[in-house]
Structure 1
Amino acid sequence: MNAPTELNPEEMGRIKLEVLRRDHRDLDDAIHVMETSGRGDQLTLRRLKKQKLALKDQITRLEDLLTPDIIA
């Protein structure tokens, strides 16, 4: 009963979605720490915020792919 377990594309997408969400939360935490500590330079903060926004866009696209359209 040692059949190889391969993930289907939907399962892989859900795993990727969780990784993206975790990365987004980590960036949010890092940005918050930099802003509250006052030690973050503006260029770094801008780059982190841009990266966070790009992750949010990827999350939204992947959620749209994984969520079936329901026409009522």
Structure 2
Amino acid sequence: MTIEARIRELGNRHRSLEDAIHREMTRPLADSIQVREMKQRKLRLKEEITSLQARTG
């Protein structure tokens, strides 16, 4: 897999997590622990994307 393809894959996962976070937060009794964990995963994805983008220049 090329770096560009990996960045696209990670970007898709990042957007999916954003959607899942939004859905959970709009529920009447949102699970704050689950939201926090999803936000942490989303941040790790963003950091990996940024790192890969820096490599491609």
Q: How does 1:50-65 map to 2 (within 5 A)?
A: 50-65=40-55
**Tell me, which stretches of 5 or more residues in structure 2 are unaligned?**
none
Using the size of structure 1 for normalisation, the TM-score is 0.74
Q: Would you say how many aligned residue pairs link Structure 1 and Structure 2?
A: 57
Distance, in Å, in 2 between the alignment partners of 1:57 and 1:24 is: 11
Distance, in Å, in 2 between the alignment partners of 1:40 and 1:61 is: 32
**Tell me, which stretches of 5 or more residues in structure 1 are unaligned?**
1-6, 68-72
Question: Residue 19 of structure 1 corresponds to which residue in structure 2?
Answer: 9
**Which residue identity does 1:64 align to in structure 2?**
A
Distance, in Å, in 1 between the alignment partners of 2:16 and 2:41 is: 11
The structure with the largest helix share of the pair is 2
Give the aligned CA root-mean-square deviation in angstroms: 1.2
Q: How does 1:30-45 map to 2 (within 5 A)?
A: 30-45=20-35
Using the size of structure 2 for normalisation, the TM-score is 0.92
Runs of 4+ in 1 over 4 A off after TM superposition: none
Percent identity among equivalent residues? Answer: 33
> Larger C-alpha radius of gyration, 1 or 2?
1
Question: Residue 66 of structure 1 corresponds to which residue in structure 2?
Answer: 56
